[in-house]
Amino acid sequence: MNGYPVYLLTRLGQFALVVFIGINIAFIVTHATPIDPVEQSIAAATQYGSTSPEAIALMRQSLKELYGLEGGPIDQYFAFWRRVAVGNFGPSLSAFPTPVSVLIGRALPWTVSLLVVSTLLTWVLGNLLGGLAGYYRQSRTLRLGGLLAMAFHPIPYYIVAFMLLIVFGYLWPVLPISGGYKMNMPRDWSWPFIASLLTHSILPILSLALVGLGGWFMGMRSLVSNIVTEDYVVYAELGGVERRRILASYVMRNALVPQVTGLAMSIGAIFNGAIITEQVFGYPGVGTLLVSAVYAGDYSLVLGITTVSIVAVSLAVLLIDLLHPLLDPRVRAR
Amino acid sequence: MRLWRSIAALLLMGSGIVEAQAQGTISNLPRKETLIVENPEGTIKNAGWFNIWSINAGGQSTGLHQLGMDTFWYIDPQKGVDGVWDNSLASDKPIYNADFTEMTVKLRKGIFWSDGVEFTADDVVYTIQTHMKTNGMRWSAPVQVNVADISAPDSSTVVFKLKKPNSRFHALFTVRWNAMWMMPKHIFEKAGDPLKFAFDPPVTLGPYTLNSYDPDGKWFIWQKRPDWQRTSVARFGEPGPKYVAYIDPGPPDKRVIAQLNHDLDIIHDVSPEGMFTLAKQSKSSHGWFKGFPYAHPDPTLPAVVFNDQNDTFKSRDVRWALALLIDIKAVSMASYRGAATISAIGVPPTGSAPDYYHVPLESWLQAFEIDTGKSKIKPYDPTVGKQIADMLRPSMGDQIPTSADEINKSFGRGWWKPNPKAAHELLERAGYSKKGDKWFMPDGKPFAIKLMVEGEGRPVMTRAGSMITQQWRQFGIDATTVVAQGSMADRRAAGDFEAMITWSVETWGGHPDLSFFLDSWHSQFVAAPGKPQPPRNWQRWANPELDKIIEQIRQTGFDDPKGLELGREYVKLTVREMPTIPLMSYNVFTVMDDTYWTGYPSADKAPYTDPVPNWANTKYMMGRLKPRP
């Protein structure tokens, strides 16, 4: 373990470098967009109402001053990093003057709770069933489950989502198809509110689970199928070790290592939002916020969301890197 | 077996709970007293922001400007409850001095804010002075450009002194979708910086006040004021709905599902296919027209807008040739599945415009002649609207009107007859040549046109653009469609396009005055190539004859009949010059469900206003809506 501090410092350095490069790329890309937030604001403000060309010229100038877009890209770059250093992404340009951090803070709990639940559910079920299917290859029920998981996996997500909408929203309308909770319900954490939150999340979670389950299932089944042929498993079977114990302690435990890495990556990616899910089910969250920010040319907001996402994914990878040597003796030995 | 039974019981119990949860879409409000309306703004990212005077900081058509705001005047896009013009906060029409440098407004008395404070001239003076001294508010720029001074000789009179003559200054305070709204002085003067004040909860002048809203921006619920008699619409009776909810119902398919489940009373807009589904499957759903084409034609005119600063389109002959290559019937079918209301002239065929422009100019259009140099043609075909109706009748049956008047209102009147031979002659006269099956420009390069469309954000217009490029290609022009997506507004303003499907014509709808858009077409506002062009002369067309028309309109009173004559001169000039190719009105598939409410506006029986619910003018609809017995 003497090398661990060095390993830790190296990984921390890599983390800082990845975050720095990632945010810089995000800054360049967002500022290269052909969408000008001032023009978007003018278009929105004048799209239907009366406009005088002289007034528009004045409005354009005023908005540039107000949004702080008057300096060159270099000035804006350094101003951005000054703000990021203190955790402030500045005001949103499409919801001026509300700070970007307030908008992200409002949307993030919805996305995180939705995706953490659906990711964990999918991961646990997919790996459990995949592991069982790989180990008990003769089971008809598990083969059928595998067939279903594989059948759903290649269907484009939005098709599955619309199928659920039509089935549970129209043909058998038992589930709400829009929003995060019932309209006009006080957000007081009472049982009716919690029940409303849960029922509104069923379809989004189900859609994500149906599509995501297959990937974990097939991955785990393949891993387990390989591991069961390893000498130590055969030896354990010949030695009369109980099958359940072989599966839990010898097979699944070994097979889980790459799956845990995959889970960490998925959890990190949660901060990207589930754009299509939020759009289709009208579910609140970061995805909807990101889409509207892109269309409005609101690069402060886009940068805010991408920065949070970059840090989250990098942090997840860092944690896995740091935990791996502690969990897996083979990595520690290297 | 016991395990399976337990699982089945659990599922049954779960579905019961879920079903109970799914019952009704609103908690704690009687559905029968609530009107549920789509807000096309979607999810409002900054829901708790009701300061409508700051630019795009929060939502507008969340009910805020329809039910909470008020200003001096409204012009209805249709017939109006009591005529097209309504004196709302004003008690009379604007009073100008002789040279249009002063405008006096007499205010209605007995109007109160929702917190019980009386609305007076002080509020108007405060609103104007705040905009005069604060940059960056929504109406700062037009106020600062126009107003030299404002005074209130008494509590119900305000006098604007203008920096220069402006016979249309009142348009700033006249609602056509929106206008400059009045601010409550007693609230804002204590609020500090007006750009940083959220105005939550809003104090309203309209007949409703905010009941509740979703902090995540999915819904806003408004409640009828107990003192609604002290608002400007009290003249038209008590508003029907006690509550009005403006919601984000999601993509078009979900709007259709929501209305089929009677959970959405008014859909703002849906695809033509969605409209047809509702017409077929729901007995209680209907559009503006009783049958086909259902949609409400907005006073907006989608067109092929050329960048007239581009050498390719500088010649009138080229622009006319391109118009003569378009088969509008195919464009109507591709874009709106036939549910379009076409217009050959530069005025949207809706509201009062057909009576003022399309009908009186019909004989002129029929007599209009183009000399190609080799032949003389009369390009106008007055039967195109009827041809579209006939084309649709076999599949749509009784839904298609039969009387000529109804067909004209629904599908439009005539359009240009496709004439490839005349187009060929016009292009040749402009120096273009055909080699093989391809056309070449005078400099020898291939005749290529990139037609910009918005993409998935506006699928109907995108389909129209694709059809037009296809028709041009069939003639030998290398035409392609370019999808601009979110960069549309920027590229349009910067002139970064060759031709595009958009609109540079928007009118009042109910009033014949065209200055609403036409003043901005004066050559004094045409930007140099590459510089941002102010709305709405996106085609960057400059014409001395047009300048003269605009200058005369500026010196003519708003209701002066001479203004109408000048408007017709504009139409004739643009027919001759074809700076843009007008296609059709912007038809909005607003679908209304009669399950809980009756009395919606409709083309045949109740054309008292535009049903498109994001228009602030729809405040007049509330007084006509009655609960279904």
Chains A, B: CB contacts within 8 A come to 219
Interface membership of B172 toward A (CB under 8 Å): yes
CB nearest B22 (choices: A41, A97, A176): A176
Dihedral over alpha carbons A249, A254, A256, A257 (to 10 degrees): 140
Which residues of chain B carry a pLDDT beneath 70? 1-24
Interface membership of B31 toward A (CB under 8 Å): no
CA distance B207 to chain A (A): 20
Q: Which of B167, B180, B157, B172 is nearest to B102 (CA)?
A: B167
What secondary structure, in 3-state letters, does chain A show? CCCHHHHHHHHHHHHHHHHHHHHHHHHHHHHCCCCCHHHHHHHHHHCCCCCCHHHHHHHHHHHHHHHCCCCCHHHHHHHHHHHHHCCCCCECCCCCCCEHHHHHHHHHHHHHHHHHHHHHHHHHHHHHHHHHHHHCCCCHHHHHHHHHHHHHCCCCHHHHHHHHHHHHHHHCCCCCCCCCCCECCCCCCCHHHHHHHHHHHHHHHHHHHHHHHHHHHHHHHHHHHHHCCCHHHHHHHHCCCCHHHHHHHHHHHHHHHHHHHHHHHHHHHHHHCCHHHHHHHCCCCHHHHHHHHHHHCCHHHHHHHHHHHHHHHHHHHHHHHHHHHHHCHHHHHC
The residue extents of the domains of chain A are 109-284
Which residue in B has a C-alpha nearest to residue A66's C-alpha?
A: B136
Other CB atoms within a 10 A radius of the CB of residue B154 amount to 10
Other CB atoms within a 10 A radius of the CB of residue A80 amount to 21
- Report whether the peptide linkage leading into residue B249 is cis, meaning its omega lies within 30 degrees of zero: no
* Structure confidence at residue B3 (pLDDT): 44
Interface membership of B136 toward A (CB under 8 Å): yes
DSSP B465: H
Q: Do A66 and B195 touch (CB under 8 A)?
A: yes
Query: What was the ipTM of the complex prediction?
Result: 0.86
Interface membership of B218 toward A (CB under 8 Å): yes
Structure tokens at A332: 């520690």
Helix pair B561-577, B544-554: axis angle to 10 deg: 170
CA–centroid distance for A211 within its chain: 15
Which residue in B has a C-alpha nearest to residue A169's C-alpha?
A: B257
Which residue in B has a C-alpha nearest to residue A164's C-alpha?
A: B254
Interface membership of B216 toward A (CB under 8 Å): yes
pTM (predicted TM-score): 0.91
CA distance B26 to chain A (A): 5
Question: What is each CA distance from B66 to B78, B183, B216, B318, in whole angstroms?
Answer: 17, 15, 21, 44
Chain A residue numbers with beta carbons less than 8 Å from the beta carbon of B21 are: 176, 182, 195-196, 199
Interface membership of B482 toward A (CB under 8 Å): no
Cα(B409)–Cα(B585) distance, rounded to whole angstroms? 11
Cα(A218)–Cα(A115) distance, rounded to whole angstroms? 21
Other CB atoms within a 10 A radius of the CB of residue B474 amount to 13
Q: Which of A50, A54, A63, A166 has the most B C-beta neighbours within 10 Å, making it the best mutation to test the interface with B?
A: A50
Cα(A252)–Cα(A230) distance, rounded to whole angstroms? 13
Interface membership of B518 toward A (CB under 8 Å): no
Chain B residue numbers with beta carbons less than 8 Å from the beta carbon of A166 are: 257
Structure tokens at A122: 């999918």
Looking from the CA of B334 toward its CB, the CA atoms found within 13 Å total 18
Reduce the DSSP state of residue B211 to 3 states and report it: strand
Q: Which of A178, A188, A199, A289 has the most B C-beta neighbours within 10 Å, making it the best mutation to test the interface with B?
A: A178
Strands (E), B259-358: 266-267, 285-286, 296-298, 303-306
Strands B499-502 and B478-483: unpaired
* Structure confidence at residue B428 (pLDDT): 97
Task: Note the CATH architecture for domain A109-284.
Answer: Orthogonal Bundle (1.10)
DSSP string for residues in B9-73: HHHHHHHHHHHHHHS-SBSSS-GGGEEEEE-TT-S-TTTT---TTBTTSS-STTTIIIII---SE
pLDDT one digit per residue (tens) for chain A, 334 residues = 567 788 888 889 999 999 999 999 988 888 887 778 887 788 777 766 666 788 888 888 888 777 777 677 788 888 888 888 887 888 888 888 899 999 999 999 999 899 889 999 999 999 999 999 988 888 888 888 888 888 888 888 888 998 999 999 889 999 998 899 999 999 999 999 999 999 999 999 999 888 888 889 999 998 998 888 889 888 988 888 888 898 888 888 888 888 888 887 787 667 665 788 888 899 999 988 998 888 888 888 999 999 988 888 888 888 888 877 776 766 666 5
Which residue in A has a C-alpha nearest to residue B174's C-alpha?
A: A50
Cα(B599)–Cα(B227) distance, rounded to whole angstroms? 23
| The CATH number fitting domain B80-184, selected from 3.30.365.10, 3.90.76.10, 3.75.10.10, 3.40.640.10 | 3.90.76.10
Chain A residue numbers with beta carbons less than 8 Å from the beta carbon of B19 are: 174
Longest CA–CA span in chain A (Å) reads: 90
The residues near A255 (Cβ < 8 Å, ≥ 6 apart) are A131, A134, A220, A223, A224, A227
Interface membership of B22 toward A (CB under 8 Å): yes
* Structure confidence at residue A268 (pLDDT): 67
Q: Do B141 and A279 touch (CB under 8 A)?
A: no
Chain B residue numbers with beta carbons less than 8 Å from the beta carbon of A275 are: none
Q: Do A95 and B46 touch (CB under 8 A)?
A: yes
Task: Note the CATH architecture for domain B31-65+198-295+588-627.
Answer: 3-Layer(aba) Sandwich (3.40)
Interface membership of B13 toward A (CB under 8 Å): no
Helix (H) or strand (E) holding B421: helix B420-429
CA distance A152 to chain B (A): 22
What secondary structure, in 3-state letters, does B534-580 show? CCCCCCCCCCHHHHHHHHHHHCCCCCCHHHHHHHHHHHHHHHHHCCE
Interface membership of B151 toward A (CB under 8 Å): no
* Structure confidence at residue A2 (pLDDT): 63
Cα(B97)–Cα(B184) distance, rounded to whole angstroms? 28
Q: Report the first-to-last Cα separation within chain B, whole angstroms.
A: 52
The residues near B372 (Cβ < 8 Å, ≥ 6 apart) are B317, B422, B425, B426, B429
CA distance B180 to chain A (A): 9
Q: Which of B21, B197, B483, B508 has the most A C-beta neighbours within 10 Å, making it the best mutation to test the interface with A?
A: B21
* Structure confidence at residue A16 (pLDDT): 93
Q: Which of B417, B416, B390, B415 is nearest to B292 (CA)?
A: B390
The residue extents of the domains of chain B are 31-65+198-295+588-627, 80-184, 298-587
Q: Which residue has the tokens 């695809």?
A: B271
Burial class from Cβ neighbours inside 10 Å (0-12, 13-18, 19+) for residue A319 reads middle
* Structure confidence at residue B23 (pLDDT): 46
* Structure confidence at residue B201 (pLDDT): 96
Q: State the CATH class of domain B298-587.
A: alpha beta
Which residue in B has a C-alpha nearest to residue A174's C-alpha?
A: B19
Cα(A289)–Cα(A286) distance, rounded to whole angstroms? 5
Interface membership of B519 toward A (CB under 8 Å): yes
Strand partners, B176: B178
Looking from the CA of B125 toward its CB, the CA atoms found within 13 Å total 14
